[in-house]
Amino acid sequence: MESMIISTKDLSFNDIIHYQDVGIIKNQVNFIVGSSGTGKSTLLRLFNGTYSPSQGNVFYEGQDLNEIDTIELRKEILLISQSLYLFDLSIRDNFIQFYEYRGLDAPSEQEMRRFLDLCCIPFPLEQDCTTMSGGERQRIYIAIFLSFHPKVLMMDEPTSALDKENSQNVIHNVLSYCKENNITVIIVSHDPNITEQFAEHVITIKRRESQ
């Protein structure tokens, strides 16, 4: 029987968005799809405790999020949002800054290179991130977050700034790494081709009226 790592019950946000009960299958690639305005991006933030529900519950590994330290939770459930942020520094220094923020030692340059290669970033570590395109910056951001090796990796429109070829290559590489390392993946995407190609479990979020 498939194990749920995240599940919801009677979930609402701001008494405006009302969700059907959903379950995220552990160690699988879960896609969340649905029309605009159904609260897909909001749902990701409810999953990791960034937002709090106005009603209902979110459960992580069977435990109610109300009983979990959300700061610690967000170390295990990482969200790569559409609004990415990089420091105005080199690729190397961005890795170092993100790790310092978490109180961790930065990975070796070999490890940095490994994750950059997964995300199709051919630039040297000393390259200044301010000189890069939106798609290149997005891929560096993904590489840094992937290197933290979370239990759950959530990606909100991860191919929004990428061309078709890079979209295919980056998603393939990231998902292959996650499968090999037992990382559960949750992706919000409007790209039906990406969903059809890579999804193992699809959740369709539908607009629900207030009860």
In single-letter form, the type of residue at position 206 comes to: K
pLDDT for 1: 53
Q: Is the per-residue pLDDT at 115 higher than 90? A: yes
Chain-wide mean pLDDT for the chain? 93
Q: Looking at residues 120-130, what average pLDDT do you find? A: 96
In single-letter form, the type of residue at position 123 comes to: F
What is the spatial distance between Cα 94 and Cα 80, in angstroms, rounded to a whole number? Answer: 15
**CATH code for the domain defined by 4-204:** 3.40.50.300
Count of residues making up the chain: 211
Task: HSE, CB side, 13 Å, CA atoms: give it for residue 120.
Answer: 17
Helices (H), ranges, the chain: 40-47, 70-76, 91-101, 109-118, 134-147, 164-180, 192-198
pLDDT for 25: 98
Per-residue pLDDT of 17-53, as tens digits, reads 999 999 999 999 999 999 988 999 999 999 999 999 9
pTM for this model (two decimals):
0.94
Per-residue pLDDT of 164-194, as tens digits, reads 788 889 999 999 999 999 999 999 998 898 9
SS3 content of the chain, % helix, strand, coil (to 5): 40, 25, 40
pLDDT band at 202 (very low <50, low <70, confident <90, very high): very high
pLDDT for 164: 79
pLDDT for 163: 79
